[in-house]
Structure 1
Amino acid sequence: PPQIPLNLVGDFGGGSLYLAFGVLAALWERGRSGQGQVVDAAVVDGAVSLTTLVHAMSAAGLWSEERGTNRHDSGTPYYDVYETSDGGWMAVGALEPQFYAELVQLLQLDGDPALPDRDDRSRWPELRTRFTERFRSRTREEWTRTFEGTDACVTPVLTPGEAPAHPHLAERTAFTELDGVLQPSPAPRFSRTAARLTRHPAAVGEHTREALMNWGIDNVDSLLDSGAAHQA
């Protein structure tokens, strides 16, 4: 069956990010016009907007309704994920010819006259089989070392637990530890007004009393005593 892309498309990508962008755009426009406006940031609108490329390719006759047959949905052998000999996975995204050439070279297939032409769709299954065989011949770590620092657009598929230790993410300090909790660092980054984490993730009910009082609710104690509200 179709796989769920976590909740990145709706809640985060099509929802929160579009809402934040809309609010900031409205604030910028208000500075020019002096007028406010309603920002209608429905999740469905943002999710649809994220599919603009797919609909554009479909209108141009470059997208098939059959899943797994298109350029960006694992249809192409050089834009897919391959298993390694130790059960790991390598992600391949060598769409451009120069990246593809490096991919083939590092897979040690560049001198093979029988290697199918990448533009011959009829031979894509054969090309995928060749890539599958090659990636299964080594471990994920071995392939990672092979492709590290190259332009072949091949990277190891990491678990959430492995990601923070990846050299590139570590160098970027993409993760921050605060009060013993490792979490993604604020993004994007600003040269003058750098963002930073200032408090730990709240525990359930940690700020109940503070929040209720800020909302003007004056019977907080009775709510807590009755169990209608919880304070950690």
Structure 2
Amino acid sequence: MEIDFSNIKVIGFDADDTLWVNETYFRETEDQFANLLENFETKNKIDQELFKKEMENLELYGYGIKGFMLSMIESALELSNNKVSQATIHEILNLGKGMIARPVELLDGVKEVLKALNNKYRLIVLTKGDLLDQERKLEKSGLSKYFHHVEVLSDKKEINYKNLLEHLEIEVDEFLMIGNSLKSDVLPILNIGAKAVHVPFHTTWQHEQVSIGNNEYEYLKINGLRDILDYLN
């Protein structure tokens, strides 16, 4: 599919699983959480109940590790009928703290792509999650110098994008979003009239999974971030 990017002046990048690894750590932590509660329920049941609790808490806690930690604690209490030990609760807190403390693992080609595009386009980060954690990861990543602006959104719906582009005085037809989530990074962008590039990550959170028909939307799908240079340079 031929998509014209000649009018693009501003490029937005998602952060988690587009610039650096993120979802892999959540899956690993879910496995460890299930191991902690193996005396109370099966792994499958624990996974289901944790996801359900995350969805219940999303409006209260938002996205990110801290909300995930709280959902794990609530799930542990409910799954164990309040019999889970203080030591296990402490271990759950340590799982979350361990996630926050992990080094930032950049995905392949990220620095190369940002360096190549930095002089030609205005680059911004548009991500969601916990503000402090995302700022910390960006600082650890060493990528701050490539971006003109960083925005941590409470959510990535059409209204969030529209308000932000208006605030930053970015014309919709001059904006391109690049990210790993069809639900958050691609479809809302297309629905407001901007362009989007999908760079799938090998692991996708259940909440971000969405199914669309062939040729229902016009967007570019690439195998890795480096491939964008073939279209923008």
TM-score range, shorter chain: under 0.3
Q: With structure 2 as the length reference, what TM-score do the two structures score?
A: 0.25
Greater relative contact order (Cα < 8 A, sep 6+): 2
